Chain A
Amino acid sequence: MNRVLTTPVSEKDARALKAGDVIYVSGTMFTARDEAHKMMLERGSPLPVEGLALFHCGPVAQEAGTGWEILAAGPTTSARMELFEAEFLRKFRTRIIVGKGGMGEKTLAALGEVGAVYTHFTGGAGALAAKAVKRVAAVHWLEELGMPEAIWVMEVERFGPLVVAMDSHGQSLYKDLSVTVGKNMEAIRARIKGGN
């Protein structure tokens, strides 16, 4: 399946996604890294986010004329947000997480409870991401958190490709792959031992 989802994404549409699907997102996406997760859980969200896409990203932004422009916006390592994500999903019901590297068991369980997916965006593809950002709608907590940690609200068009890596049915490409790699490594070790 290769399709475009427009925000706000419904629980039904999020539950229809399966690990391995490739999707694109149009609509509203907001960034949150460690600090923003923590602060949103403490204070509440500065904007309604149910059904939106949450992006693990600290963009390079530049003030241009009437507003902000995003120059590069690749994903950051999602594992750091494992501390907050399950509670975050239950509280805010964002339906699509965008990041890289995958997340842990607590997040996987919360995805199933809430009806949401974790998607992987290509690490390092900062120029490709910035091209899909049509407008910066708002930036929250910039003074307090600084450019990388602030909440950037972006209007995006066909943001992707995003690989659904963890779905609401308990499937995780990362979990499956670590089993496969483990098996492959047994054969590789045997080859090295038997070689010259």
Chain B
Amino acid sequence: MNLTQELGRAIGNAATILPPDVVRSLEAARDREEGPARVQLEAILENVHIARGGRVPICQDTGTITFFVKAGTKFRHLDALVRALPEAARTATKDVPLRPNTVHPFTGKNPGDNTGRSIPAITWEMVEGDGAEVHILPKGGGSENCCALKMLPPGVGLKGVKEAVVEHVVSCGGLPCPPTVIGVGIGGGADLSLKLGKKALLRPLGERHPEPEVAALEAELEELINASGVGPMGLGGKTTVLAVHAEYAHRHPASLPLGIVVQCWAHRRATVRIRADGKLEVA
């Protein structure tokens, strides 16, 4: 198998082809909007069409390359996968091309290949099985700058969680390029809540959390945020978020961590599945 090449191709797909669930959600938003809001969504959809046809990046900010890997405890190609992930980022940077987005925080130097210390960012999860699943999430700077961590006093309860999410997302206005997708992580701890929020973005739009209480929270947050009227690009309208996805972990009795992860309309994703025999499937 040529793992590096296939992973590189998948990163390229993510940068240039918006997933069908996101396109459908943007189309539905266009159909219910009018005036400047509709103009923005029409421009977005035309842009998506041009990018796919010409295989050019959807947005000039091609993001930080982020991987979420679910590896089976019996998966035999772990070694090759560890080596292939940063190499695939380099390959895609040249081939697509992608904008080099990794800057050394002290020297300001940019290696020019979208890799660097701890980048691409990789989150490993061990699961039962003999295969592996690599989720690719290139994340732009404008929306990442709008992410937030709130350490709430547990006494505020879920009402406090709702209030904090709505206030934060609305206060971002047009900055993260709405309509956005919001990942909400509740509990776990400061770092884990943000990680859960980011992981929640991997779920396809239109798919609710399997637990009814969490699914109800997602639906309520969508409705509340969209009632604000911020709208596409912060120019006013009915669609400020395409979706809110929530995940949770158990919390310490004294803590109620809330991670709010904001993703722009260009919600770019791709997935590569590696079977036990090394066969690859790119989605």
Contact = CB atoms under 8 A, between A and B. Distances in A.
Interface in A74-130: 74, 77, 100-102, 120-128, 130
B166 A20 contact: no
Contact of B56 (A59, A71, A163, A184): A71
Nearest to A178: B173
B141 to A, nearest CB: 11
A152 to B, nearest CB: 13
A109 to B, nearest CB: 21
Nearest to A161: B39
A39 interface: no
Interface residues of A, number: 45
B103 interface: no
A12 interface: no
A192 B224 CA distance: 9
A131 interface: yes
Interface residues of B, number: 46
A101 B174 contact: yes
A130 B56 CA distance: 10
A120 B232 CA distance: 12
Interface string B62-78: 00000000000000000
* Chain A binding surface SS class: mixed
Nearest to B98: A60
Contacts of B236: 173, 176-177, 180
B227 A188 contact: yes
A189 interface: yes
Give the interface centre of B39, B158, B166 by most chain A CB atoms within 10 Å.
B39
B256 interface: no
Interface in A120-151: 120-128, 130-131
Nearest to A163: B36
Interface string A184-196: 1101110111011
Interface of B: 35-36, 39-40, 42-44, 46-47, 50-51, 54, 56-61, 99, 140, 142, 158-159, 162-163, 166-167, 170, 173-175, 177, 220, 224, 227-231, 233-236, 264-266
Given A124-B59, A127-B54, 18 more contacts: A20-B35, A22-B36, A71-B56, A72-B99, A122-B43, A123-B264, A124-B47, A124-B140, A126-B58, A127-B58, A128-B43, A163-B40, A177-B229, A181-B230, A188-B166, A188-B224, A192-B159, A193-B159
26 contacts: A22-B36, A58-B60, A72-B57, A72-B60, A102-B174, A122-B43, A123-B264, A124-B59, A124-B140, A125-B44, A127-B58, A128-B43, A128-B46, A163-B235, A177-B231, A177-B234, A177-B236, A181-B228, A181-B230, A184-B228, A184-B229, A185-B170, A192-B162, A192-B163, A195-B220, A196-B158
